């Protein structure tokens, strides 16, 4: 088996020692090439080249942003014959890996990956597609995308739950682009006006430290997309759903809530450009995004 290990040396919990241990362990089972990323988009380019060259396995060692780039590179030619993906978490949240049951600890995750290679344990997972961009666990427009953009602007600071919480509070009270209304377009239904829209490809939507943040509990890698949107962002509504999202059972109910699971498609539009994020990475401003669920798009070794 030919494999490529893509390492993001800037990720929160990647270290040269950990990289070497991972590379040595993988090299005992596969014909391995190791490359460290040098710039934004490098992981995408490496994975795209690996797919074109017929590499069997690409392992992403970094955070969710690195995984997203690798996935988009692997699927740049379509989901048909893309290499399999392996993940050894190295970021702060590692949502995609944790949702698959992969350990947050890089050493334990390496053992899991080696066992999956040896036992040829593969899983086909569904992904979301937002216009021309694949996402593995979530995407959004409005408040959450403002938060992601604010955190990304603080380069040089290690990302953690406290940094996201501070950014969430700041963006709530002082929206960087103003509180621009959004319109949700669902198949066969009248458009709905909302203030923020979260699109999920699995549950949980994210993690706050060790605690899962759960918005669409009926959404998984084996179903369509989930939508969690709020018609208004008053403090009582935000507090209520924030508290519910941190509960283990996470049953969301309120009059301002628009929530769906297992959607094949949906669209979100705005009269003015708003921030847009996928898998916790800002991807610029949009006035409309079309979301599509793609079942079984990716093979993952788990």
pLDDT digits (tens, 9 = 90+) for 29-49: 999 999 999 999 999 999 999
Predicted local confidence at residue 188, as pLDDT: 93
pLDDT band (50, 70, 90) for residue 13: confident
Predicted local confidence at residue 157, as pLDDT: 52
Q: Regarding predicted confidence, which is higher, 156 or 217?
A: 217
pLDDT at 23 over 60: yes
Predicted local confidence at residue 159, as pLDDT: 72
pLDDT at 123 over 90: yes
Predicted local confidence at residue 153, as pLDDT: 80
17-21, 215-219, 261-265: least confidently modelled range: 17-21
Q: Regarding predicted confidence, which is higher, 251 or 157?
A: 251
Chain segment 52-108, per-residue pLDDT in tens = 999 999 999 999 999 999 999 999 998 888 999 999 999 988 999 999 999 999 999
| Mean of pLDDT values over 186-209 | 95
Predicted local confidence at residue 158, as pLDDT: 63
Alpha-carbon span 98 to 118, nearest angstrom: 21
Domains annotated on the chain, with CATH? 2-120 (3.40.50.10330), 135-296 (2.60.200.40)
Alpha-carbon span 164 to 139, nearest angstrom: 16
Chain segment 130-176, per-residue pLDDT in tens = 999 999 999 999 999 999 999 988 755 567 788 888 999 999 999 99
């Amino acid at each position: 088996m030919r494999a490529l290990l893509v390492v993001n040396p800037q990720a929160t919990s990647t270290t040269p020692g950990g990289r070497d241990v991972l590379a040595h362990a993988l090299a005992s089972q596969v014909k391995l090439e190791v490359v460290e990323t040098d710039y934004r988009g490098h992981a995408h380019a490496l994975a795209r080249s690996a797919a074109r060259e017929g590499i069997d396995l690409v392992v992403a060692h970094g955070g969710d942003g690195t995984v997203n780039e690798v996935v988009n590179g692997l699927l740049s030619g379509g989901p048909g014959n893309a290499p399999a993906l392996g993940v050894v978490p190295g970021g702060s949240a590692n949502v995609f890996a944790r949702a698959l049951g992969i350990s947050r600890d890089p050493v334990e995750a390496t053992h899991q990956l080696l066992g999956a290679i040896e036992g040829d344990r593969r899983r086909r997972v569904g992904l979301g597609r937002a216009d021309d961009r694949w996402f593995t666990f979530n995407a959004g427009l409005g408040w959450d995308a403002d938060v992601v953009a604010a955190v990304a602007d603080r380069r040089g600071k290690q990302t953690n739950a406290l940094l996201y919480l501070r950014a969430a509070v700041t963006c709530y009270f002082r929206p960087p682009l103003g509180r621009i209304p959004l319109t949700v377009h669902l198949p066969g239904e009248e458009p709905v006006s909302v203030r923020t829209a979260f699109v999920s490809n699995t549950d949980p939507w994210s993690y706050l430290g060790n605690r899962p943040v759960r918005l669409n509990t009926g959404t998984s890698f084996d179903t369509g997309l989930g939508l969690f949107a709020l018609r208004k962002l008053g403090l009582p509504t935000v507090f209520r759903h924030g508290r519910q999202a941190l509960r283990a059972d996470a049953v969301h109910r309120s009059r301002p809530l628009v929530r769906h699971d297992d959607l094949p498609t949906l669209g979100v539009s705005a009269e003015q450009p708003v921030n847009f994020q996928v898998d916790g990475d800002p991807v610029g401003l949009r006035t409309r995004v079309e979301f599509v669920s793609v079942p079984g798009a990716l093979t993952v070794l788990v």
